[in-house]
Structure 1
Amino acid sequence: MKKILCLFLVVMVSMGIFAQDTYHPYRLEKDVVAKELALLYLRHFGMAIENEDDPDTFEVILDMDEEIWFFYYEGFEMLQLHSHDARILRMAVLEGSEYEAQVKRDGYLYDQPLALAVARLIWVDVYGQRVLNQEPFRASQQAKIWLIRGSLPTGMDGGVPYLRLRQSDGMILGHRHDQ
């Protein structure tokens, strides 16, 4: 019986069940966060948005059946984000723009400043404003996945947040905070 229990624990640890570095899924459920993420993307790709607080100018709609956030600017659909993982499904502002070729080649999150800005927005949603005490945030990239992490001042104990983002579509692959 002890051998079976030990084997079970070894298997669970190797699968990451008890591992401290397990990433948690993120769902884009709040319209305020979805709107901020949409504005972040649209502005990054050169769109000047005015009157963002006027619902007749910038409209945010969640299609519950499809679980997709739709963002309209002056009546035109500009962006679609999936509510399960915040991945970009479509961005009309890119069609025919100077960014279109780069996004097709390198993905929506092709640069570090945008990946860091997305992480900051998600972490504030998940952990609150206190997460900003763990700046500067650092980003590294491996196999077209961004790994963003917080930092602590020298000599300070504690954990930092982590976020994994897929470069191609901005999908949030998971987040965690070590203690």
Structure 2
Amino acid sequence: MSPERVDRERDARGRAQNARPRDALGRPLPRGAVGVERVPEDLVLDPAPALVEAQRLLDAGMPFHAHEVLEASWKSAPDEERELWQGLAQLAVGLTHLLRGNPKGATTLLQRARRRIGLYADAPPYGIDAAGLVAWCDEVLQTLPEGPGEVRVPVLKRAQNAP
């Protein structure tokens, strides 16, 4: 006997929603399971609060959820910042892959993140530590072949007193 098919939840326009609960690394859990609180699908924050929320989620070990915050910023960013926000979102997804034990996915996403974020290294907006994030990507990418071991959390913004 095959399992009963469950229709996906849909919004008012009939578009499928991803309403299944998820664990801290964004993996779908069975329907009815208790997962971590989700980032609302319609949440779009201004850049400064988006960076604060994404950092909070990274520090809490929830890079997938940080990615959702950063992805919303990427999709609403002005053209001249889109590559940066996309790179930040890819960095969070790369970390997600790393923590899920997928080194190939981590490598691909962190290389893309490094390239995009690096475009802003000379004049990053909002206090983003573009050079530090590129160095973080390089450090993780260098350790991936032998296994990353303990991975430090990336820091999105420079310290207040840093140049």
Q: Which has the larger radius of gyration?
A: 1
TM range (shorter): under 0.3
TM-score by length of 2: 0.25
More relative contact order, 1 or 2 (CA 8 Å, 6+ apart): 1
Tell me the TM-score normalised to structure 1 length.
0.23
Structure with the larger strand share: 1
Per residue, is there more helix in 1 or in 2? Answer: 2
